[in-house]
Chains A and B, each alone.
Chain A
Amino acid sequence: MTFDDYRGIWVYLEVKDGNIAPVSLELLGAGRQLADKRKTELAGVLIGSGVKPLAQTAFTYGADVVYVYDDPIFAYYRTEPYMRALLDCCEKHKPEVLLYGATPTGKDLASAIATDLPTGLTADTTILDIEEDTGLLLASRPAFGGNIMATILCKKYRPQMATVRPKVMKALPPDPSRTGKLVEEHIELREEEMRTKVLEIVRETTKKARIDEADIIVAGGKGMGSKEGFQLIHQLAEVLGGAVGASRDVVEAGWIDHHHQVGQTGVTVTPKIYFAIGISGAIQHVVGMQNSELIIAINKDPNAPIFQSCHYGIVGDAFEIVPLLIERFKEEIPKLKAAADVKEEIRHA
């Protein structure tokens, strides 16, 4: 067996709430570029129960081939059955590269597959490239808490595998006219042989807008002084119709729960506007928000690193500035809304 037997760029298509997860669509976008450079196929592997119709979504976003394992045993994610299916697919069709989203599920599955194949696995990749002639994957990732970037290679094993951070790669614009080849696969698995069972799934949806989907995020840090002081962040978010974000130190202080934490060990966000108020701008925080469209920092220390990572900054006391902002937004936003309503009326008239 030589490396030439391994062909094609693959993406593991994670299913979330009955759809292909956004990160998998992003990976199809990134994978398309790698496949074109290597003049090879882009394939997706879809595992789940009742998931066959989702293959078309993958074609729409750039896949040439989709391998489907559709069986009730895959109703929810468990390492064992999913791993057996994906190993089966790798052994039959031998990909050159296999990418996963660096989500809890993607990382769990990838780590198991890497051990069994065995092969190398690069974690939390943020930059991907491939050598056109050798097919060597260049996967780069932050390490040491974001203090360095490292390029990781896997020269002697195939497939080359990487988990890739969500919201770093770009999905292609969907093209509903694109089609591809659907390959139905099957593997014999019996429920009695499975060693784990999911007894219950509990969704903890907060009433507040989900932070990873919000257009506006108002994030506060330790500079807000106390849980009471942090209320100003909630108030500003409310007038702007945005979600509340926080630094890790705020979460650890118990001012807000972990779902709101932005950064390396929290969520990665890319809103249209990100406010960082009383946040020093540690690298572990910045990696989670640096791709936001407009970043605004408010901090009383002119030397705070956050001013290196923002588009606009105000040096000043949050307790002076934020109440003023709240007051002024309360006045101005309704005017914008009213103007929009007028326009709407004119259009309908």
Chain B
Amino acid sequence: MLHIVACIKQVPDTKIIKMNPKTNTMDRASAPAILNPYDAHAVEEAVRLKKKYGGTVSVLTMGPPPAVKAIKKCIELGADEGYMISDRAFAGADTLATSYALTKALEKIAKQRPIDLVICGKMTIDGDTGQVGPGIARRLNIPPLTGVKKVVEINKEKGYAIVHRKLEDGYEVVQSTLPCLFTVEKDINDISFAPLPNMIKAARYQPTIWTADDLEDVDRKQLGLKGSPTIVSKVWAPPKPEGGELLEGSTKEKVEQLLSLVLAKKELFQ
């Protein structure tokens, strides 16, 4: 029986978010909070592995109270248990402080039920660093396998996992000892349709919520803003491109103008 924990984050939908042009901050009201799309694939993969090998899927998030909604979404996707760590002490965390807090929570979860596999998304769509997953793996001292696009085998008895890791021009087949941590690509799976019983369970579900005091052996200096070596010092809107010249005339004339622009680079065609 496997115990898989997927780490998930609630994020603003950056595709439709509007920025306040004066303050360069996000107008949070303009964008709904969603489950980070990559994390949906992490949960989906965990649920598929559970179906194949048997076991339990837990999800863990660090975030403000409304992030409960993201956990409920994961329950819909088939997760069994949800854990949330939420405390002002965690606020302002960079990736180092985030991986520290999540690791402390994972250690507490593991005391209740030992963990075989941690799955993270490739990255979030807000901070989008992709640094939290490998950070957790180092802190737990388990191998990080980044860019996983296929899980070939998990063998708990013999204590190994075999996966395909995406490379720039192909993939590699890697074997790792268990427990280990995956960060997963989007193409690892397609999200299944949530079955009705899951939706009903999700609607009623209340996750376990811990504050910083509930975690064990926590060094408060490593949490939140205090524990973050990086500082966001300045935020600005990316320079607006000036815009191009629109070609005028009939379709035929436009095509001819374009032709001469392209063919002017004649070294490309000789």
Contact = CB atoms under 8 A, between A and B. Distances in A.
Given A104-B146, A123-B129, A145 B169 contact: no
Contact of A107 (B130, B254, B268): B130
Given A307-B244, A307-B246, A215 B268 contact: yes
B95 interface: yes
A18 to B, nearest CB: 14
Contact of A144 (B26, B95, B134): B26
Interface string A182-204: 00000000000001111111111
Interface residues of B, number: 78
B177 A79 contact: no
B241 A121 contact: no
Contacts of A204: 169-171
Interface string B72-98: 000000000000000000000011100
Interface in A300-330: 302, 307-316, 320-321, 324-325, 328-329
A91 to B, nearest CB: 16
A297 interface: yes
Contact of B269 (A107, A153, A310, A337): A337
| Chain B interface helix/strand/loop/mixed | mixed
B192 to A, nearest CB: 17
A51 interface: no
A116 interface: yes
Nearest to B243: A308
B229 A156 contact: yes
B29 interface: no
Q: How large is the interface on A (under 10, 10 to 19, 20 to 34, 35 or more residues)?
A: 35 or more
Contacts of A149: 235-238
B44 to A, nearest CB: 16
A168 B231 CA distance: 23
6 contacts: A124-B128, A148-B236, A195-B143, A240-B269, A307-B246, A309-B244
Interface of B: 12, 14-15, 17, 19, 24, 26, 94-96, 99, 125-131, 133-135, 137-139, 143-147, 162, 166-177, 180, 187, 228-238, 240-247, 251-252, 254-256, 258-259, 261-263, 265-266, 268-270
Top-9 shortest CB links A-B: A120-B229, A145-B14, A123-B129, A111-B134, A340-B270, A120-B230, A310-B244, A115-B138, A204-B170
Given A201-B172, A294-B265, 7 more contacts: A104-B147, A148-B236, A153-B233, A195-B180, A296-B258, A312-B246, A321-B251
